[in-house]
Amino acid sequence: MLLDMYTVLRRFALARGCADSEADDLLQDLFIKVSELRGGPIANPRAYLFQMTSNLILDRRRGEMRQVRREDGWARSAFGHDLVDDPQPTPETTALDRDLLTRVEHALGAMPPRTAEILKLYRVEGLAQKAIATRLDLSLSAVEKHLQRAYKDLDALKLSWARQDLEEVAIDG
Amino acid sequence: MADAHHDRTRDEAIDWHLRLEHGSEDDWLSFTEWLEADPAHSRVYDSVAKAENEVDAVLRHAEFPAPMPANDTVETVDPVRRNLWPRRAAIAASLAIVGALTFQMAQPGSTYSIATGPGETREIALADGGTISLNGNSEVILDRNDTRSVELIAGEARFGVTHNATAPFSVTVGDNRLVDIGTVFNVSRDADLLRVGVAEGAVRFEGSGQSLRLGPGDVLRAQGDRIETTNTPAEAIGSWTGGTLVYDSAPMADVAADVGRAIGMRIAVDPALASRSFSGVLQTRGGAEAVRGRMGPVLGVRIEDTTGGWTLKP
């Protein structure tokens, strides 16, 4: 099955912006990981291989991102921050963090209660979408719809925060 | 600039990201086609995945509106008694972090704690370039005035530390101490069981009146005064950070503790399985239910729901 999947996975890796050599590396990694899977049956092996490939790519991107590091104000706030780098936040950063937290909480309050509840189960409690659907007796696609709404609200907030930060930098500079 | 086209692409990327959490093969193929339609799509997708991580960090501190009364009961939280229930621990842990962030002046001394809730992991960058990867349900105490010593209170952490002969890095676990000799190593603490594995370099273990040098691939288990060392492929050590657990003849109790930590579940082992060992690989990604589905056949056990978690049975 692996050889059979090689072509589609490589195509996926290229579409995700990997260079040829990176795609080869990545699939090499994947095949080693898969050959180490001595375990039992996986419900959906083909989708699972895609998922593993996608995770490997995201892990690599995260590694690259850590090197570039902290380019926007959100990431520089205490929430994106490692305490050890700067254990004592200045009064300004604390005020900034409170502002950020307040805005996020405001956005959560503005969502339909079910939507906020599902977001919490998904991101804070770490439940899978299927598990949330079972727990709340909803269809999987209903859970997905709630999460789309919540993600888009928070994404708009994050983008406006990033823009505001850029403006402030422009004024300071 | 955020024009209408950009916003639509971003919305589509969000929809894909949420779908792919449980995507079928067809979904993945359609996603590939969406990516191929415009090279910008892949970059927007990266940005959405990154934003999810950053928003997560804030969500963990945010107060959510009260859930709908019909399907949730109000829970009282006593922040002092932690680790009793995963849920409580999650709430208390986030209180502890918020406390550390916001009310630092109220904390005595120069030490502070970083804790994770069930299934949550955290990367801590150290001032000297080292890193600590903290697994779920875990807690470390750091010291602002001494960045070369850390105490592991509970759970599991993988340390990647820079070597400095004049200021060795040390990890305290209960009465035991680990001193690095330049290295990447993994430490876990489950009740009175301490496990240490070395991926690179070497570590000196000091405890129970003994001092042992551990090299790459060495794994030490210490329980009370009983200390044993075994060997495992070095690349398997700390592999939980990539969502993979690798075992070579490991006791079932170790596997249960590790998986439980990864997915935020209390997993007990039926005494009938106590002497059984496991060799193989377990993936811990995809949420508790997915892991449950994989784990039964892989370990050759039945998984029963019990109060507050699961029990593995023959």
Tokens of B202: 């070497």
pLDDT digit string, tens, across residues B167-182: 888 899 988 888 886 6
SS3 A101: helix
Residue A84 has pLDDT above 90, yes or no: no
More confident residue, B26 or B71: B26
What average pLDDT does chain B have? 79
CA distance B17 to B50: 11
Residue B285 has pLDDT above 70, yes or no: yes
**Distance, in angstroms, between A60 CA and closest chain B CA?**
11
pLDDT digit string, tens, across residues B248-280: 888 898 899 999 888 888 899 998 998 888 888
Nearby residues of B158 by Cβ (< 8 Å), 6 or more positions away = B132, B133, B135, B184, B185, B186, B187, B199, B238, B240, B241
Closest CA to A130 of A117, A121, A143: A143
- Residue pair B211/B180 in contact by the 8 Å Cβ criterion: no
Please answer yes or no on whether A101 and B27 come within 8 Å at the CB atom: no
Beta bridge partners of B200: B184
pLDDT digit string, tens, across residues B206-254: 887 788 889 888 999 988 888 888 888 888 888 888 888 888 888 898 8
Which of the four pLDDT bands, split at 50, 70 and 90, describes residue B36?
very high
- The pLDDT of residue B165 is 74
- Residue pair B310/B86 in contact by the 8 Å Cβ criterion: no
- The pLDDT of residue B144 is 76
- Residue pair B280/B288 in contact by the 8 Å Cβ criterion: no
Residue B122 has pLDDT above 80, yes or no: yes
Residues of A within 8 A of B124 (CB-CB) are 82-84
Backbone angles phi, psi at A77, to 5 degrees: -65, 170
DSSP percent split of chain B into helix, strand, coil, nearest 5: 35, 35, 30
The answer to whether B8 contacts chain A (CB < 8 Å) is no
Residue A68 has pLDDT above 60, yes or no: no
- The pLDDT of residue A53 is 93
Beta bridge partners of B188: B156, B195
- Residue pair B241/B158 in contact by the 8 Å Cβ criterion: yes
Tokens of B5: 């086209």
Run of H or E residues at B272:
none
Which of the four pLDDT bands, split at 50, 70 and 90, describes residue B112?
confident
Nearby residues of A148 by Cβ (< 8 Å), 6 or more positions away = B11, B14, B15, B18
CA distance B264 to B308: 11
Provide the chain B residues 43-82 that lie in CB contact (below 8 A) with chain A.
Answer: 43, 45-46, 48-68, 71-72
SS3 A127: coil
Residue A162 has pLDDT above 80, yes or no: no
- The pLDDT of residue A165 is 55
* A-to-B residue pairs, Cβ atoms closer than 8 angstroms: 205
Q: Tokens 């208390």 — which residue? A: B92
CA distance B24 to A48: 9
B8 vs A15, B20, B34, CA distance in Å?
19, 18, 13
**Distance, in angstroms, between B298 CA and closest chain A CA?**
5
CA distance B50 to B44: 10
Q: Residues in chain B, how many?
A: 314
Tokens of A159: 């983008």
Please spell the DSSP secondary structure of B29-80, one letter per residue.
Answer: HHHHHHHHH-HHHHHHHHHHHHHHHHHHHHHTTSPPPPPPGGG-------TT
- The pLDDT of residue B13 is 95
Beta bridge partners of A85: none
Residue B307 has pLDDT above 60, yes or no: yes
- Residue pair B139/B113 in contact by the 8 Å Cβ criterion: yes
Q: Tokens 């823009």 — which residue? A: A163
Please answer yes or no on whether B61 and A74 come within 8 Å at the CB atom: no
Q: Tokens 């899978």 — which residue? A: A128
Nearest to B119 among A50, A104, A126 (CB): A126
Mean pLDDT of A51-71: 76
- The pLDDT of residue B158 is 92
Mean pLDDT of B113-120: 80
